[in-house]
């Protein structure tokens, strides 16, 4: 490995002249400088940054401080690091990533006072960041990716308010009025981590000013935590919307199956199906109302019981009944040959058997006949549809 002394001999100059050429402490002629550069190239000599630092008191090394966090280094953070490395290299500096627990003031003070680096870039900045206060006291050069509340020092940061505004504007433009936001963990928020604090504030402000409905939940950056947070969210706010089939069709999509015309199953079945089709026509205005609501507000026409009756805990456990809109409870017969049906009637109101007119109090289970020609249907007592259902002929 070539040394500075070898460069001096090859360039036929003194060792101190080579040193001056490298650290720029004293001027030398351009002719001499070119001779030194040529000698360095021929010998493959590269000055050691730490050695130069000992002599010049400047290492030309910058440290980017990324404290150990639960979620690790993500794509956004990697982009910041890569950009900082490129900018450092362009300006003749080296960049090192210091991932130790630099929230420790003693460790950070050692890093800055050992002469290993010329400056520091802080990441994962908190609104009241002790590292910022320490570096200010030490008068050590630093900048931030992120910012604290007292942001008089140089920083680069994401505009979280604009980010939230654009996201909510996009969703509102699609017709959404109930918006959920999964933020980072509660621990990060309580610690004052800038992005969590600012996105929460921006979300709440925009929801308030826009008249939208919004709910925010904290979530740790773990798959299981995300699963649990989402389940808890849809339990309280169960209506989610998807916008169409997003993949292009590559050709015709034929489907074949059994016969499906009402006259395909014999005379007795034909009579039942014909009457049920007539019932559907009588319900057409109601179904049209429900489809209008689905289009404008995202509320599905067919609904699980817990969506209409969130205060009844038993409704969360019912998986074989559903509502058509807010007024009709349907209990399909799911077992072949069965002619009886056990039904749970949600609490808080009275229910009327749509076929017989019998009224039952809610908050209990009943068992009723379920002949082939009569799907069990219950209406809220006093429903406008009490005369729509007629016995099948």
pLDDT above 60 (res 251):
no
Least confident of 57-71, 79-93, 108-122, 242-256: 242-256
- DSSP secondary structure, 17-73, as one string: HHHHHHH-SS---HHHHHHHHHHHHHHT----HHHHHHHHS---EEEEE----TT-S
Alpha carbons 357 and 386: distance in angstroms, whole number? 8
What band does 54 get if pLDDT is binned at 50, 70 and 90? very low
Q: What percent of the chain has pLDDT over 90?
A: 31
5-38 pLDDT, tens per residue? 888 888 888 888 887 777 666 778 888 888 888 8
Question: Can you tell me the distance from the alpha carbon of 118 to that of 155, in angstroms, rounded to the nearest whole number?
Answer: 17
286 backbone φψ class: left, alpha, beta (φ>0; ψ -120 to 50): alpha
Going by C-alpha positions, the residue among 129, 109, 128 that lies closest to residue 117 is: 109
Which tokens in the block code for residue 66? 């990324």
Q: Mean of the pLDDT values across residues 277-296?
A: 89
Superfamily of domain 61-156: Response regulator (3.40.50.2300)
Mean pLDDT (whole number) for 298-304 = 89
CA–CA gap between residue 166 and residue 393 (Å, rounded): 58
Looking at residue 244, what is its pLDDT? 45
The string of pLDDT tens digits covering residues 121-178 is 998 899 998 888 888 988 999 999 899 888 888 898 999 999 999 999 999 888 888 8
Res 17: pLDDT: 84
What is the CATH architecture assignment of 300-380?
A: Sandwich (2.60)
The answer on pLDDT for 248 being more than 90 is: no
Please indicate whether residue 371 or residue 40 has the higher confidence score (pLDDT).
Answer: 371
Environment class of 244 (CB within 10 Å of its CB; exposed 0-12, middle 13-18, buried 19+): exposed
Tell me what percent of the residues of the chain surpass a pLDDT of 70.
85
- Residue-wise pLDDT for 63-108, tens only, equals 888 876 666 667 888 888 899 999 988 888 888 888 765 466 777 8
CATH fold label, 4-47: 434 Repressor (Amino-terminal Domain) (1.10.260)
Position 280 pLDDT exceeds 80: yes
Residue 261, Ramachandran bin (φ over 0: left; ψ between -120 and 50: alpha; else beta):
beta
Residue with tokens 């450092």: 88
**pLDDT tops 60 at residue 241:** no
Of 1.10.260.40, 3.40.50.2300, 3.40.50.1370, 3.40.30.10, which CATH number belongs to 160-236?
A: 3.40.50.2300
**Structure confidence at residue 326 (pLDDT):** 92
Range among 179-183, 211-215, 328-332 rated most confident: 328-332
In the prediction, which pLDDT does 108 show? 80
* Domain range summary for the chain, segments of one domain joined by +: 4-47, 61-156, 160-236, 300-380
The DSSP letter of residue 149 is S
Question: Do 4-47 and 300-380 share a fold?
Answer: no
Number of H helices, E strands in the chain: 14, 15
- b/e map of 76-94 (b: 16 or more CB within 10 Å)? ebeebbeebbeebeeeebe
Please, which pLDDT band fits residue 246 given cuts at 50, 70 and 90?
Answer: very low
Stretch 239-255: mean pLDDT: 52
Q: What is the DSSP letter of 350?
A: E
Is residue 193 within 8 Å of residue 227, measured between CB atoms?
no
Q: How confident is the model at residue 256 (pLDDT cuts 50, 70, 90)?
A: low
pLDDT grade, residue 345 (50/70/90)?
Answer: very high
């Amino acid at each position: 490995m070539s040394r500075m002394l070898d460069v001096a001999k090859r360039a036929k100059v003194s060792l101190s002249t080579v040193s001056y050429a490298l650290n720029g402490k004293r001027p030398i002629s351009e002719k001499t400088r070119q001779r030194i550069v040529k000698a360095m190239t021929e010998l493959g000599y590269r000055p050691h940054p730490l050695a130069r630092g000992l002599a010049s008191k400047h290492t030309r090394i910058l440290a980017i401080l990324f404290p150990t966090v639960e979620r690790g280094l993500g794509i956004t953070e990697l982009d910041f690091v890569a950009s900082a490395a490129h900018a450092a290299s362009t300006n003749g500096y080296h960049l090192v990533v210091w991932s130790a627990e630099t929230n420790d003031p003693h460790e950070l003070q050692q890093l800055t006072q050992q002469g290993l680096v010329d400056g520091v870039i802080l990441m994962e900045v908190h609104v009241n960041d002790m590292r910022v206060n320490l570096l200010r006291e030490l008068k050590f050069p630093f900048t931030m990716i992120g910012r604290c509340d007292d942001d008089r020092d140089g920083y680069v940061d994401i505009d979280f308010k604009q980010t939230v505004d654009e996201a909510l504007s996009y969703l509102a433009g699609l017709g959404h009025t109930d918006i959920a936001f999964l933020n980072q963990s509660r621990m990060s928020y309580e610690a004052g981590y800038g992005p969590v604090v600012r996105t929460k504030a921006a979300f709440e402000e925009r929801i308030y000013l826009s008249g939208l409905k919004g709910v925010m939940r904290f979530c740790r950056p773990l798959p299981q935590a995300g699963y649990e947070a989402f389940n808890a969210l849809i339990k309280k706010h169960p209506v989610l919307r998807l916008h169409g089939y997003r993949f292009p069709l590559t050709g015709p999509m034929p489907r074949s199956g059994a016969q499906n015309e009402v006259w395909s199953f014999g005379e007795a079945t034909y009579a039942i199906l014909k009457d049920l089709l007539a019932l559907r026509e009588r319900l057409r205005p109601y179904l049209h109302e429900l489809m209008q609501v689905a289009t404008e507000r995202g509320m599905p026409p067919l609904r699980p019981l817990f969506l209409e009756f969130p205060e009844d805990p038993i409704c969360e456990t019912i998986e074989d009944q559903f509502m058509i809109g807010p007024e009709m409870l349907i209990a399909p017969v799911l077992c072949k040959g069965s002619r009886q049906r056990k039904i749970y009637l949600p609490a808080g109101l009275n229910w009327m058997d749509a076929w017989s007119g019998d009224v039952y109090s809610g908050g209990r289970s009943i068992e009723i006949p379920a002949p082939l020609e009569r799907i069990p249907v219950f209406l809220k007592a006093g429903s406008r549809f009490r005369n729509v259902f007629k016995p099948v002929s």
